[in-house]
Structure 1
Amino acid sequence: MNRLISQLSCASALALAMAVSGHAQAQTEIDVAMIGEPDTFDPMVSTKDVVSIVTQHFVETLFTFDDNWATVPLLAAAMPDVSDDGLTYVIPIREGVTFHDGSTMDSADVVGSLERWLKVASRGKSVAAYVDSVEATGDYEVTIKLNQPYAPLLSLLAFSNSAAVVYPEEILADHIDNVVGTGPYEIADYVPDQYIQLVRFDGYSQPTGAAERKQVPDEIRFVPVADPNTRVEGLLSGQFDFADSLSTESYDRLESSDAAEPLLLEPFGWPVFAMNRNKGMMTDIEIRKAVQAALPFDDMLYAAFGDEKFYQVDGAMYPEGWVWNNDGGVELYNQNDIEAAAEHLEKAGYDGTPLRILTSRQYEFHYQMALVAKAALEAAGFKVQMDVVDWATLAERRNNPDLWDIYITHSPFLPEPALISSFSAQALEGWDEPVKNEIFARFNTETDPEARKAAFKELQTELYEDVGFIKVGNFNSLQGKSRALEGVSASPWPKFWNASTSE
């Protein structure tokens, strides 16, 4: 983390001088409590939510999503001109966009950044095999040529997670120590374990339409607060204007408070037990089936959330009402069958090696699910080792397949299933299985909407039959905000460029 100190932008001196003079005290400041802090300011190389939430304020992509999850232009001047065969995307680039270092963005910056994304980003790597070339076909025009149609391309280019952000060509490298973006805010100061201070970028080139970013607050301060109860108390006391990832037990306190209020994102997403398919016992399908058969998802969700208004026992990858909802494979969901699990263990010749579950209490619901899972797995015959660490350590350890068998995480429901990183063979889980790979490739290259839905049902069925990873159920996310805070809504990745506080 200490090397991130070098990632301060050129605004640091100005911001610090203002603080010394007292001028900064008169500015509008939004204070945000998060579960932790980013371990990088380069969102290309990370899929962590804490990275996305912060970095979306100072780096930008060609496209973004509107409030209805439709793709709209951001650094692009318009939506691309796509050839009839779906192989060529001609993207106009906005003129007059300024980087935080004062340089002007052009197509060379975009081409270099996209080439880096295809090389270093997990989602970029999943696209790379479909891309023949990325070329500057004008000072403000970029052309992407594919070797076969790839339906999720624009969604991937718009996503803020493992993001295809645009950097100045001059700073591009495998590792970027000093991130330079085009966003509405820039880094003024960073003190590890204390705060990240963003200030308004006065040279910002404002997009129009649904992508508008009004730059209302002068300063946004992200504060890492590991304990969820401390986040709640800080919100209730007025220390924070917004708090992310709160425990469901705090809902009633927030609802009855004069100072703060709950924000319930319903439905938010799904907890997942990610399985290590690269190394260790989870490479054995009988072991994976034993885990799948043993887990009591209804009990796990109740332990995690306590009230059915916060969760749904549902095996489909997308909830009812979503275009991707289907029943493929769901008969294998929530078996809660200890005897069947024991039979799978016997077939595997399980030798008592501890099953290592990696989890964190910074997301308390992860930990509560893990406790119930541990009891059920032990009843089935597993020996279980719980490795409970802080979230930053978990994020580091999951990169090493020698250190875990299952790690617990979660994902919001995303508009495009190709954005679910766990389906990719390049993801940390390493689900690199021929049948799944063929279905996933067919799903991604199919352009007919009905055919894509049918392929996704096949993919969901294969998920259950091969136990690629385990969805626990659906849950609603609780966030909280000051009653004086306006311009911020419940979101998987809350944004604060339109935020204001009333007196």
Structure 2
Amino acid sequence: MLQKLARIGAAALAVAVAGVGTPALAQQKGGAINVATIGEPNTLDPMVAAGDLLGMITQHFYETLYTFDKNWALTPLLAETLPQISDGGKIYTIPLRQGVTFHNGKAMTAQDVVASLKRWTELASRGKLVADNIAAIEATDDKTVKITLKAPFAPLTALLAFNNSAAVIMPADKMENPIKEVIGTGPYQLKERKPDQYIQLTRFDGYKQRQGEPDGFGGARKQYLDEIRFVPVPDANTRVEGALAGQFDFADLIPVEAFDRLKGQAKTEPVLMQGFGWPMFIMNNKQGMMTSKDMRKAVQAALNAEDMLAAAFGKPEFYKLDGAMYPEGYAWRSDAGIKAYNQGDADKAKALAKTAKYDGAPIRILTSRQYEFHYKMAQVAAEYLKAAGLKVDLQVVDWATLVQRRAEPALWDIFITHSPFLAEPALIAPLPDSYPGWWASEAKNKLLLALNAESDEKKRVAIFADLQKLIFEEVPFYKVGDFAALSAKAPRLSGYTASPWPYFWNASLKP
């Protein structure tokens, strides 16, 4: 069922760059690449933190039981097959691939998987989403893991597949918190990390890839490159200039206005992903002025999404004005509640703020210039809020600091982030109570419980429409619109497939 919904959504994604997604006929081993990222991750443990930067890097050395293929259908990774589901959706039996070894040379066993999944339910925001519904996680033998649920939970396999707040598999004896050793099963292993300089990965010669051909995040993960070096480059323009100079083989998430500069260059070329995802303003539902629904609705009424998108992305071909949680082409698409989107109504915002007993304190907005479009949207939002009589304290920090601060409810009122469109709504970051923003509405939890327990496709789509309507009514966050993402890659980098979370297994360097 989830596989079918994922395939419907995959049609919404388009890629524009010469040669991307078409591996060379005869790729060669060897060489090292430099990848410019938007900054430095605050940890290398993908369970304890969420974020695209963290998932992008750690997916090269940590792996999950399942992942997504090129059509966003679920596919096995460390598991041998998709789970065998029985007892009305309450028992998941997971056969494991054999011959998989960790980077320390030890064989992966069912005991490692059980320990990893238990750690995930205790530490990871998405693991906590299902933790209370798990009756047992156990190894039935060295090759098989069984998860027993108290009630059916339709998104479980998708949660186990997601690389963000991820259910990665670690050795059972290497699970400290914080972790002391980074040991996974992936095609690359951590060699050295120098904070604010680089994260150096090298090929893991003991890696056992799946049989067959590459298939999105699934299928074979071929190890052509000797080394991948992730280099934090917080300034977006520096990433552009480094790509143009040939300093970086790949530069992630650069301003879309650089698209024309990248075309026709000898040392770099644009990678544009249409319909990539959606920026959002997350409200603090736990502490401070945004705990008032009227105050959140005042912000909703004040903001003009079209002006924010235009400032952030420039040309209309790089963005779309759309308040729905999913764009056209996805099964989850609904127009429920979207009349509340893109109001730009200062008078209405003033009236709502008055009802909320707004006392003139500044609204603390956290943003970062490492994602330049976040910063530009924040600037425009600040002006619309000021026009509605609201004071604003725009706090511009590096991304690692933003991630740290957003975990402390006393430190902010709104922060800005973004997400790709995901095949399963349960993966949407701000829905769990535990995600910063802490939307713990009784009505939301009732709908989420119904969505997660339902197995019928049409019924799940209808429930999600009700959930989207509630999002507009309670305003835990504000979707700005849809956007295209621009990156840059060197023409010599062959076999790279464009992705929301760039990966470099299967990629090689042309001779």
TM-score range, shorter chain: over 0.9
* Structure 2 counterpart of 1:205: 208
In structure 2, distance between residues paired with 1:292 and 1:466: 10
- 1:42 aligned to which of 35, 42, 45: 45
In structure 2, distance between residues paired with 1:27 and 1:454: 51
* Structure 1 counterpart of 2:86: 83
Amino acid at match of 2:297: K
Residues 1:196 and 2:199 are matched in the alignment: yes
* Structure 2 counterpart of 1:395: 403
* Structure 2 counterpart of 1:386: 394
* Structure 1 counterpart of 2:227: 219
For the 8 Å contact 1:76–1:94, the answer to whether it is kept is: yes
* Structure 2 counterpart of 1:413: 421
Q: Secondary structure at the match of 1:52?
A: helix
In structure 2, distance between residues paired with 1:197 and 1:172: 22
Deviations 1:89-142 (A, max 9, x none): 110011111111111111000000000100100000001111111010011100
For the 8 Å contact 2:30–2:508, the answer to whether it is kept is: no
Deviation at 1:259, TM superposition (A): 2.1
* Structure 2 counterpart of 1:281: 289
State the identity as a percent: 55
Aligned residues between the structures: 478
Residues 1:30 and 2:38 are matched in the alignment: no
In structure 2, distance between residues paired with 1:461 and 1:115: 34
Deviation at 1:84, TM superposition (A): 4.9
- 2:348 aligned to which of 335, 340, 345: 340
Amino acid at match of 1:220: I
* Structure 2 counterpart of 1:6: none
* Structure 2 counterpart of 1:14: none
| Superposition pairs of residues 39-438 of structure 1, within 5 angstroms | 39-209=42-212, 210=215, 211-438=219-446
In structure 1, distance between residues paired with 2:174 and 2:491: 42
Q: Secondary structure at the match of 2:322?
A: coil
For the 8 Å contact 1:263–1:489, the answer to whether it is kept is: no
For the 8 Å contact 2:30–2:224, the answer to whether it is kept is: no
In structure 1, distance between residues paired with 2:346 and 2:30: 60
Deviations 1:367-417 (A, max 9, x none): 111111111101111011111111111111111111100001111111101
Amino acid at match of 1:183: G
Amino acid at match of 1:89: Y
For the 8 Å contact 1:31–1:220, the answer to whether it is kept is: yes
Amino acid at match of 2:125: S
For the 8 Å contact 2:36–2:231, the answer to whether it is kept is: yes
Amino acid at match of 1:398: R
For the 8 Å contact 1:30–1:499, the answer to whether it is kept is: no
Q: Secondary structure at the match of 2:296?
A: helix
In structure 2, distance between residues paired with 1:392 and 1:115: 27
RMSD, aligned CA: 1.1
> Where do 5+ consecutive residues of structure 1 fail to align?
1-25
For the 8 Å contact 1:116–1:174, the answer to whether it is kept is: no
Q: Secondary structure at the match of 2:270?
A: strand
- 1:456 aligned to which of 456, 460, 464: 464
Amino acid at match of 1:165: V
Deviation at 1:229, TM superposition (A): 1.1
- 1:483 aligned to which of 491, 498, 511: 491
In structure 2, distance between residues paired with 1:68 and 1:171: 34
For the 8 Å contact 2:366–2:397, the answer to whether it is kept is: yes
For the 8 Å contact 1:184–1:497, the answer to whether it is kept is: yes
In structure 1, distance between residues paired with 2:177 and 2:201: 25
Amino acid at match of 1:91: I
Deviation at 1:352, TM superposition (A): 0.2
Deviation at 1:207, TM superposition (A): 1.5
Q: Secondary structure at the match of 2:378?
A: helix
Amino acid at match of 2:368: S
Q: Secondary structure at the match of 2:168?
A: coil
Q: Secondary structure at the match of 1:315?
A: coil
For the 8 Å contact 2:324–2:334, the answer to whether it is kept is: yes
Name the structure, 1 or 2, with higher relative contact order (CA <8 Å, separation 6+). Answer: 2
TM-score (norm 2): 0.92
* Structure 2 counterpart of 1:19: none
Deviation at 1:484, TM superposition (A): 1.6
Deviations 1:447-481 (A, max 9, x none): 00000000000000000001111100000100110
Amino acid at match of 2:185: T
Higher helix share: 1
Q: Secondary structure at the match of 1:322?
A: coil
* Structure 2 counterpart of 1:495: 503
In structure 1, distance between residues paired with 2:498 and 2:310: 23
Deviations 1:165-206 (A, max 9, x none): 111111123321212111111011111111111110011111
Deviations 1:308-357 (A, max 9, x none): 11100001000011111001100100111111111101111111011111
Amino acid at match of 1:163: A
Q: Secondary structure at the match of 1:199?
A: strand
For the 8 Å contact 1:479–1:490, the answer to whether it is kept is: no
In structure 2, distance between residues paired with 1:364 and 1:41: 24
In structure 2, distance between residues paired with 1:314 and 1:281: 27
Amino acid at match of 1:195: Y
Q: Which segment drifts farther, 418-427 or 254-263?
A: 254-263
